[in-house]
Copies of this chain bind each other. A is one copy, B any other.
Amino acid sequence: MSNISLEKVRQAITLMQGGDIDVWLTFARETMQTPDPALDLIFPHNLTWDSAFLVSRSGRSLAIIGRYDADNVRKEGAYDDVRTYDQGISQALREAVAELAPKRIGLNYSLSDTGCDGLSHGNFLRLQQMLGDLAELASADELVRRLRESKSASELARIRETTRMQQAVYAEMFKLPLRGMNELDIQNRAHEIIARHGLEIDGDPAANPIVNAGPESSIGHGLPSAALTLQPGMVLHFDMWLRHNGYCADLQRCAYVLRPGEIKAPDLVQRAWDSCWLALEAGKAALKPGVAAWEVDNVAREALVECGYDEYLHAFGHHIGRATHDGGSVLGPRWERYGDRPFKQIDVGSVFTLELGVILEGHGYIGIEEMVVVTETGNEFISTPQRELRLI
């Protein structure tokens, strides 16, 4: 992991040039219980006691770490200066801030961007007490957002590897005797395959992968049901988000279960699949550096509605990297719950999911999700896209 932490600390210093944050402070404790997603970028292990990572615009990087965690920070090698304490962090932290003499300290909080909102409110109040007389405390959300979004070469390589592995998992899942299996059985078998491939399930295994067998299934982040068995005429839909080596992939896959005598999906189903792809390609064509995130969603959304379907009730895409939902901008509509995230501009080097779907009465949920990386002029697939609806 050392290369990535060091790459990201250096990238942060570059991003701070010309900005109004003099020192970026990541402050965390008991990160197993309350992790800070920004910390993952610049130190990949857990910390127990109060820990402070300071990166200054002038190019210094400094960590203040409890005695028992300090060795790991030194081994990581991303900080020029690692200081330790035993009883309490405040004195060493005040001294370090006094040395760096910032006007403004950027902290990891954000009203709209979870990936930049890892500082707890309790820790914010403590920093106010410890440092409030030394500098102005402000949000570092723009810095952290850009740091998360713009993937370094080694980050991109890891995402590609996880994506390749997840596709291999899907290939095995479609070899299962799926007809007649219930959603929960399918999920259990998927868990075995995932473990065998050496991938980690990101988050709660009870809800990952999502398995939707037919029209009665719970669409969204619902749990699989042992009462729903895959039958002819149903659409089978999977959504899965996995991690390997610290980086995630997130893809959906879909199939139709042929009824006796059928050799292809009914027109109703095929038309929905084709319309989803038409809308996805329309949105994909709009994704390039400099456009606002909501515009990309809007193109896909309108294309699907023009095909005669309801608009999907989620975003067209999200960043992916260390986390599956990786904060930053979102390719989503300008709805309240997305805050200002749809208004951000697209940057080169970002990795997005592109996803949408249609609920088909009597059949189930048709959903597509692929992954792309933003290039100088547009974007290209990271995943090998599922162009054809599978038949079972």
Contact = CB atoms under 8 A, between A and B. Distances in A.
Contacts of A35: 33-35
Given A46-B204, A337-B89, A33 B29 contact: no
A128 to B, nearest CB: 10
A113 B28 CA distance: 13
Interface stretch (A14-22, A116-124, A271-279, A296-304): A116-124
Copies of the protein in its oligomer: 2
A68 B111 contact: no
Q: Which of under 10, 10 to 19, 20 to 34, or 35 or more describes the interface residues of A?
A: 35 or more
Contact of A107 (B69, B110, B121): B121
A205 B219 CA distance: 33
A244 to B, nearest CB: 13
A220 B114 contact: no
Given A32-B203, A219-B68, A49 B337 contact: yes
A88 B323 contact: no
A111 B88 contact: no
A317 interface: no
A388 interface: no
Contact of A221 (B68, B222, B223): B68
B221 A88 contact: no
A218 interface: yes
Contact of A29 (B85, B114, B119): B114
Interface in A277-325: 313-314, 323-325
A18 to B, nearest CB: 24
B118 A220 contact: no
Nearest to A29: B114
A68 B314 contact: yes
A93 to B, nearest CB: 11
A337 B222 contact: no
Contact of A121 (B37, B49, B119): B119
Contacts of A164: none
Interface string A51-92: 000000000000000111101100100000000011111100
Interface of A: 29-37, 44-46, 48-50, 66-69, 71-72, 75, 85-90, 107, 109-126, 139, 202-204, 206-207, 218-223, 313-314, 323-327, 335-337
Given A33-B35, A46-B204, A68-B220, 6 more contacts: A33-B326, A67-B313, A69-B220, A71-B222, A71-B223, A119-B122
